[in-house]
Amino acid sequence: MAIEHRRLGKHGVLVSNLCLGTMNFGWHTSEEESFAIMDRALELGINFFDTADVYGGNGGQQGDTEIILGNWFALGEGRRDAVVLASKVYNPVNRKENRREPNTDTRNLSAMKIKKHCEGSLRRLQTDWIDLYQMHHIDRDCPWDETWQAFDSLVKQGKIVYVGSSNFAGWDIATACQEASRRNLMGLVSEQSIYHLNNRMVELEVNPACKHYGLGLIPWSPLGGGLLGGALGKIEGGRRMSENFLKQVEANREKLERYEALCKDMGEEPATVALAWLLHNPIVTAPIIGPRTLEQLESALRATEISLDEEVLTKLDDIFPGPGGEAPKAYAW
Active-site amino acid positions? 55
Determine the Cα angle at 312 with ends 309 and 315, to 5°: 150
What are the distances in angstroms from CA 131 to CA 13, 40, 80, 165, 166? 10, 21, 11, 13, 15
Q: Identify whether the C-beta of residue 132 lies closer than 8 Å to the C-beta of residue 164.
A: yes
DSSP 152-199: HHHHHTTSEEEEEEES--HHHHHHHHHHHHHTT---EEEEEEE-BTTB
Give, for 21, the enclosing helix (H) or strand (E): strand 19-21
DSSP 86-134: EEEESS----TTSPP-TTTSSS---HHHHHHHHHHHHHHHT-S-EEEEE
Sign of the Cα pseudo-torsion (270, 45, 67, 35, in order): positive
Give the closest residue to 133 by CA, choosing from 104, 165, 102.
165
Cis peptide before 328 (omega within 30 of 0): yes
Determine the Cα angle at 315 with ends 311 and 317, to 5°: 115
- Half-sphere CA count of 249, side-chain side, radius 13 A: 20
Cβ atoms within 10 A of the Cβ of 299, count?
Answer: 17
Q: Tell me the β-bridge partners of 86.
A: 50, 132
